[in-house]
Structures are given as structure tokens and as C-alpha cells.
């Protein structure tokens, strides 16, 4: 399988990486290992050790940082940006629709079963339109590349995508270690993210809120693997980081306990799942949420970001239909392609999947973190057969995709520099406006030949550059 190397085209260097060629060439071996150790020390000192995307695993394990940046030209990015924003608009239109009249289902473009019987579909918010018609305020779109102009969306994350702290800290650390690089290259800044996030959240304050909205971040607590990120974002935005017990409902509003007495809260950027938000509406045994929150939310007293119920748009089975959403709601052709996906629940698709297992990647519909998946080309015959039995037992639980020849970016490895596979997660902000910070989180599979970039399976992170025109 030929793999697209984002830096080298044969022996020539692709333009976005032109200046990095000398940087690497002139870097002495000792300096490299020194810098690598320095980077790791910085990450550890910051305390950013959590598993990306809630993948589980050891919460205190340091995720390897690779100093070799991943670079996009202005024109490459401009197309990605348009594609991502288009997708974020379509996903939000879909959410407003399926909690309203369900036109896309009535039109026969997506099966009602996939939506209405989906566990992520929240009946409790049916008929409710959140402020500005936005359900998913931070859309994390996972993208892979297979050629100069070939980008595919692997999945959408409409609930509370994590990992943005890696985007911010990777940049911070690179700038600290290699200030010259940032003088020589015109790199778009990513540190505007927190300001843009703050603006996005404020823009969806409920109508009942007068004046400057009070925004808080609701975290499950310090034992959560992404707690570092929650506190970083709260610091950068200058808002309070709260746990469920810090908030309470009184009358028609939600308040935060402060040393100066109760303060009304207008917008909650929650980093806890729907099921735990309010024991009076969802799981009655939840201690993480705020009792009565959903009643206040539904009556327009507070905004919740992402809106409860947003998860139905990023389900792996619903994913297949995102290009149809773009056509249906926006009347446009999708700029970014989906990876062709077979639904094992469909008889025809299942037949194809079972006949081609060694060439396919098979995933659980609700799985995440690279667990419970089969990467056909990397598996032994016995592993494939064992997985086949699982699929046959419960076909509806699996989807399959072709193994993509993921692009590679030069990466520092023990033997020197070698190409390693990467993916990308940019974070699209949706409020009154749609904004995308030029950059994102690049994950890299550090094992040679590995296509699994998940940190739980030996993945690392890189700084992602977008060059100015």
C-alpha cells in the first residue's frame, strides 16, 4: 500500500515543510535528545498526563510528545476549514431537526430506528430548541489523510471532545523550546482558542440572561482523566471550574456557591455525560450532576454546552449519513468525504464484511479508544476468526471500513527520524458564529507501521502548524 508522506515527495520536500528540512539537518544528535527530555519534563511539570478522549488506561501515564511538527499550507487548511465548518453546521441542523419535526426521517433519508431508538437520543429534550439552534458547540472532527488532496472523516465528536489542551500545550512547549522556528515560519496562532471558546459559550446564553453571561465549566472532578484540561480551559477563559455540588437550583435558576454568596449561572460548559447531569431527569443515582438542572434548562433559565442529546449525531451508525445531512440541510455537496462504511446490521454489507475481513477495520458501533476493534491486515488468522464469531453473533453492533493508507509525517524515533502515521482532530466552535482555530491535535502512531494512533495503544501527539498565506 503506498503511503502519502506529508513531507517528502520522493526526494523533494513538499513546500509546507521546506524550512523544517534545514532545522532537522542542522540539529545535532545530542541536542535532539536533550530537547526531547526537556519537552517531556515540561509536560510532566504541567501535569498534562491524561489519556486523550477518555480512552482509559493509566491516568498518570505521560503521553509521548513528538517534536517534529505536522504542517499544513494555507490552502490545504482553507479547504479543511470549509469542510469542517460545513460538517458542524449540518450536524447541528440534524440535531435541531431530530428533536423537532424529524424532516430528514420523514423524507426517508435516514432510518428513524437509528435515531429514535438510539441510546443517545434524549426524549427529555424533544421539542426544545436550544439558544441559537445549537446543540453541539464544540465539534471535534477526526480526520485522516491519504493523499495530497484526500482527506477522510473518521468520526465526529459532538458531545464533549477532549484533547484540545494538547493542542494548546504542544504549541506552548514548541515555542518555548524552538523560538527560532516560530520566527522563521509564519505559523497561525492557536492560543486564541480560549477566547473564541469563551465568546462561543457566551453567545448561547439563554434569553433570560441580561448583561454579561456567567459561564462555568462543570467537571466530574479531579479523578477524571481529563481534569487537567477542564482546569486549564477554566483558567484560560477566566471562568469558574465547578463540580455538581458547587451548583444548586433555586426557583427558576441555577446558582453557584461562592464566598460572596450565590451567583446565578447562565452557561454551563459541561464535561460530564448526559446520564449524570440531573438525577431528577436521568440516572437517579448520579451524584455528579445538579438536581433540577434539566427543568431549569428546558424552561430557558440556563444553557448547557453541549446540549443534552447532542450525542445522537456522533453515533457510529449515524455517521454514515452525515454526507446526506450536508445535502439535505445545506443543499451543498460535502467537502470532506466519509470513509466508506459497511453496516454489519445490513445483510448485504455483512456478506461483504465477512468475505473481506483480512482487509478491513471493524469497530463496535458504541466502542471508543481503539478497543474492541479488528485491524484486519495486522491480525493473525486466528484473531480474525475469533472476531468473525463476535460479528456473526451481533452484527448490528459492528461497522467496517477499508484499511486506509494513512499519511505519514517524519517523527523522532530511537533510530533517528522515520515516517509514522498520523490523524488530526480540529475543534470547531459553534455559537452565534462558527469558528475554527487553525490547528488541532495531531496524534501519531509511534510504533512502526502501526495505524492505531490512540494513546492507550502507543500513540503520541505532535504540534500542528497551519502556515499563513
| Contacting positions for another protein (CB under 8 A) | 99-102, 105, 112-113, 116-117, 119, 121, 123-128, 248-253, 279-281, 284, 291-292, 294-296, 298-299, 301
Provide the grid cell at 289: 450532576
Min dist. Cβ of residue 299 to another protein (A): 4
Beta bridge partner(s), residue 464: 70
Provide the grid cell at 349: 454489507
User: Of the two residues 180 and 393, which places its CB atom closer to another protein in the complex?
Assistant: 393
User: Of the two residues 296 and 318, which places its CB atom closer to another protein in the complex?
Assistant: 296
Min dist. Cβ of residue 301 to another protein (A): 5
Min dist. Cβ of residue 382 to another protein (A): 33
User: Of the two residues 397 and 411, which places its CB atom closer to another protein in the complex?
Assistant: 397
Rg (CA), the chain: 22
Residue 156, Cα to own-chain centre: how many angstroms?
Answer: 7
Report DSSP state, residue 131: G
Min dist. Cβ of residue 43 to another protein (A): 39
Backbone φ, ψ for residue 153 (5° rounding): -90, 125
User: Of the two residues 112 and 148, which places its CB atom closer to another protein in the complex?
Assistant: 112
User: Of the two residues 167 and 318, which places its CB atom closer to another protein in the complex?
Assistant: 318
- Upper half-sphere CA count for residue 417 (Cβ side, 13 Å): 19
For residues 108 and 30, what is the distance between their CA atoms, to the nearest angstrom? 62
Looking at beta carbons, which pairs linking 206-213 to residues 24 or more positions away fall under 8 Å? 206/131, 206/266, 206/300, 206/301, 206/302, 206/303, 207/131, 207/300, 208/300, 208/301, 209/266, 213/266, 213/267
User: Of the two residues 252 and 448, which places its CB atom closer to another protein in the complex?
Assistant: 252
Min dist. Cβ of residue 255 to another protein (A): 10
For residues 401 and 4, what is the distance between their CA atoms, to the nearest angstrom? 19
Q: What is the DSSP string of 265-288?
A: E-EEEE-S-GGGT-TTTS-TT-SS
User: Of the two residues 161 and 292, which places its CB atom closer to another protein in the complex?
Assistant: 292
Residues whose CB is less than 8 angstroms from the CB of residue 458 and which lie 6 or more positions away in sequence, other chains included: 445, 446, 447, 450, 452
Burial profile 354-392: b = 16 or more Cβ within 10 angstroms, e = fewer? beebeebbbbbbeebbbeebbbbeebeeeeeeebeeebe
Min dist. Cβ of residue 378 to another protein (A): 36
For residues 78 and 7, what is the distance between their CA atoms, to the nearest angstrom? 19
User: Of the two residues 249 and 429, which places its CB atom closer to another protein in the complex?
Assistant: 249
User: Of the two residues 280 and 384, which places its CB atom closer to another protein in the complex?
Assistant: 280
Min dist. Cβ of residue 198 to another protein (A): 26
Sign of CA dihedral 45, 46, 47, 49: negative
Beta bridge partner(s), residue 215: 267
Min dist. Cβ of residue 81 to another protein (A): 35
Min dist. Cβ of residue 97 to another protein (A): 11
Amino acid at each position: 500500500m503506498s503511503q502519502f508522506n506529508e513531507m517528502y515527495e520522493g526526494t523533494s520536500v513538499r513546500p509546507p515543510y521546506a524550512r523544517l528540512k534545514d532545522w532537522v539537518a542542522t540539529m545535532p544528535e545530542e541536542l535532539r535528545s536533550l530537547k526531547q527530555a526537556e519537552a517531556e519534563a515540561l509536560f510532566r511539570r504541567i501535569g498534562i498526563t491524561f489519556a486523550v478522549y477518555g480512552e482509559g488506561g493509566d491516568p498518570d501515564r505521560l503521553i509521548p510528545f513528538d517534536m517534529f511538527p505536522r504542517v499544513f499550507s494555507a490552502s490545504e487548511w482553507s479547504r479543511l476549514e470549509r469542510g469542517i465548518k460545513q460538517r458542524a453546521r449540518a450536524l447541528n441542523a440534524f440535531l435541531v431537526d431530530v428533536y423537532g419535526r424529524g424532516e430528514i426521517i420523514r423524507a426517508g433519508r435516514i432510518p428513524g430506528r437509528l435515531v429514535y431508538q438510539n441510546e443517545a437520543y434524549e426524549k427529555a429534550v424533544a421539542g426544545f430548541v436550544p439558544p441559537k439552534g445549537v446543540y453541539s458547540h464544540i465539534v471535534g472532527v477526526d480526520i485522516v489523510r491519504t493523499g495530497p488532496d484526500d482527506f477522510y472523516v473518521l468520526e465526529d465528536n459532538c458531545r464533549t471532545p477532549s484533547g484540545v489542551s494538547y493542542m494548546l500545550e504542544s504549541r506552548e512547549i514548541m515555542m518555548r523550546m524552538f523560538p527560532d522556528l516560530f520566527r522563521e515560519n509564519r505559523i497561525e496562532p492557536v492560543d486564541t482558542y480560549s477566547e473564541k471558546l469563551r465568546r462561543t459559550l457566551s453567545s448561547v446564553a439563554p434569553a433570560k440572561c441580561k448583561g454579561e453571561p456567567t459561564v462555568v465549566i462543570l467537571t466530574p472532578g479531579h479523578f477524571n482523566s481529563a481534569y487537567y484540561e477542564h482546569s486549564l480551559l477554566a483558567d484560560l477563559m477566566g471562568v469558574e471550574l465547578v463540580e455538581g455540588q458547587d451548583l444548586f437550583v433555586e426557583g427558576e435558576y441555577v446558582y453557584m456557591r461562592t464566598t460572596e454568596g450565590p451567583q446565578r449561572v447562565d452557561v454551563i460548559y459541561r464535561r460530564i455525560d448526559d446520564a449524570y447531569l440531573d438525577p431528577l431527569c436521568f440516572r437517579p443515582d448520579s451524584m455528579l450532576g445538579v438536581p433540577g438542572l434539566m427543568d431549569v434548562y428546558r424552561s430557558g433559565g440556563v444553557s448547557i454546552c453541549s446540549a443534552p442529546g447532542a450525542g445522537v449525531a456522533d453515533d457510529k451508525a449515524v455517521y454514515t449519513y452525515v454526507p446526506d445531512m450536508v445535502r439535505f440541510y445545506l443543499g451543498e455537496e460535502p467537502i470532506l468525504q466519509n470513509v466508506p462504511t459497511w453496516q454489519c446490521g445490513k445483510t448485504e454489507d455483512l456478506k461483504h464484511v465477512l468475505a473481506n475481513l483480512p482487509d478491513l477495520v471493524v469497530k463496535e458501533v458504541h466502542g471508543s479508544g481503539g478497543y474492541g476493534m479488528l485491524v484486519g491486515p495486522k491480525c493473525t488468522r486466528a484473531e480474525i476468526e475469533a472476531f468473525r464469531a463476535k460479528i456473526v453473533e451481533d452484527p448490528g453492533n459492528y461497522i467496517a471500513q477499508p484499511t486506509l493508507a494513512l499519511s505519514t509525517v517524519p517523527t523522532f524515533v530511537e533510530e533517528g527520524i522515520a515516517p509514522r502515521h498520523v490523524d488530526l482532530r480540529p475543534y470547531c466552535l459553534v455559537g452565534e458564529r462558527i469558528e475554527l482555530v487553525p490547528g488541532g491535535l495531531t496524534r501519531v502512531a509511534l510504533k512502526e507501521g502501526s495505524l492505531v494512533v490512540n494513546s492507550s495503544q502507543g500513540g503520541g501527539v505532535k504540534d500542528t502548524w497551519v502556515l499563513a498565506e
